[in-house]
Amino acid sequence: MNIRVALIAIAFTGASAHALAMDGSAVANPQSTPIEDYVYGDHPDIAKVLETSEVPNVCGPVSVEMAYEDSRGQRHIMRYLIIGNGCSNG
The pLDDT score that the predictor gives to residue 21 is 46
Mean pLDDT for the chain overall: 80
Residue 15 has pLDDT above 70, yes or no: no
H-assigned helices in 1-90: 3-23
Q: Answer yes or no: are the C-beta atoms of 83 and 62 closer than 8 Å.
A: yes
Question: How much is the average pLDDT of 71-77?
Answer: 96
Residue type, 35: I
Helix (H) or strand (E) holding 37: strand 35-37
Q: Quick one: 15 exposed, middle or buried, by C-beta within 10 A (0-12, 13-18, 19+)?
A: middle
Q: What's the whole-model pTM score?
A: 0.63
Higher pLDDT, 30 or 67: 67
Strands 61-69 and 75-83: antiparallel
Q: Answer yes or no: are the C-beta atoms of 70 and 46 closer than 8 Å.
A: yes
Confidence band for 27, pLDDT divided at 50, 70 and 90:
confident
CATH class (in words) of the domain with range 3-83: mainly beta
